[in-house]
Amino acid sequence: MDITKMPLSGKTRKEHDLLGELEIPEEYYFGVQTMRALDNFHISRVRLCMYPYFIKALAMVKEAAAKANRDLGEIKPEVADAIIEACHEVEQGKLDAQFVVDMVQGGAGTSTNMNANEVIANRALEILGHKRGEYQYCHPNNDVNHSQSTNDAYPTAVKIALIFQTTDLIASLKELIGAFNAKGIEFADVIKMGRTQLQDAVPMTLGQEFDAYAANLAEEIDRLEQNARLLLEVNMGATAIGTGINADPQYSQICIKYLREITGLPVQAASNMIEATNDTGAFVIYSSAVKRMAVKLSKICNDLRLLSSGPRTGLNEINLPPMQPGSSIMPGKVNPVIPEVVNQIAYKVIGNDLTVTMAAEAGQLELNVMEPIIVYSILESIVMMENGMNTLREKCILGITANKERCRDMVYHSIGLVTALNPYLGYETSTELAKEALATGKGIYNLVLEKKLMSKDELDNILRPENMVKPRKFLRK
């Protein structure tokens, strides 16, 4: 539900910030700074609530901070406990609709951080028995944001969210790989022509082609996991620029210890907090891993579109499941809409990666204020890739069938077949066969028999799928 469209009673509470007072609808858990952001940033129209892992990670960061501040005597135990309870509710998704600021915002993420601070503070006030907005009992800045800055809380939450999101992304990737592997087994005996530069090359099996797709994507699991590990280094306790101003000397260590317990992740403090606060290199390399996977997946989808092209005037080696009518003017036309949409997802991911690169480069001095567009770009890429892979698997790969006879006929009529005969007939003879086949339109198979270069049994033995698609010893006459 979009909180900004929910029915309102008309009752309000007054809240103030350095710019003055605002009337806040009574139903809202967020407060004055979130309202400012709502007014200022009508940019992407994509709100924080679209990314639940990000909201969960923000709450985990605030919970760890509250526990550290309680242990250090920085905030009252009862206030800390209320904040922690409120954080648990946010982590469970109970207040997702209250996270309303636009993902694209100025201020280096301050609006996002304050959205979390205000929601958690107002829910904690209710837990303490007070009304929303009675910040003298639990304040968004003084209590929920105690010992923190946007500049350490925000990027730490982002990194945790990306790690959580990566787990789902890899799960979808593994399922897609499994689907390609299953087709590799199913098509293991379907002989076909391999192609290089869109020209006939040498025979292979359709199963080998699909096995290669699976292997191509399987490489990305290690790459994603490796790059995600770079996100485990966080700057909690750095506060504004990395010096730790306004935080207890022990705060960072205690906070990160709690963060490990809450998230279940082996997060650790950056060795240099100033560097960690201004550098976004981990986001750049992570984004590049998502882009690499998108490029590979798009190449595979290009292949699927080519292999299924036709059906009468194209390759027509495989059939993609028909998902919808393909034309408003051409009756009977069915298009490869699922590979097409995955191609388009890949283009968006590639563009997002460029955005991340440029935003990372734009950082100045002790802070990169462009982090919100980095965050939005990477999260959007991950979610689109996850949805795209699930769609490709469910609506395309699982339903692919092979046109076995079509594949075999093209092998037998292909000029490329002569390569398989080259070890037996020699390069010169094979070249002459290829030239004659091109000139006359005859198939290599028929020409070999016609010229009595081999017996049918010899030729059939050489051209058996198991003899053409892997290395083997041979004896030249």
Assign 145 to helix, strand or coil.
coil
Structure tokens at 430: 């094979």
* Residues 70, 398 contacting (CB under 8 angstroms): no
Q: Cα(27)–Cα(11) distance, rounded to whole angstroms?
A: 8
Q: At what angle do helices 52-71 and 77-91 cross, to 10 degrees?
A: 160
Alpha helix (H) residue ranges in 45-149: 52-71, 77-91, 110-128
* Cα dihedral 233/239/240/244 (nearest 10): -100
234-271 burial by CB neighbour count: b if 16+ within 10 A, else e? bbbbbbbbbebeebbeebbebbbbbbeebbebebebbe
Contacts 24+ apart (CB under 8 A), 123-131: 123/29, 123/86, 123/89, 123/90, 123/95, 124/79, 124/82, 124/83, 124/85, 124/86, 125/82, 127/82, 127/85, 127/86, 128/78, 128/79, 128/82, 131/13
| Residues involved in catalysis | 327
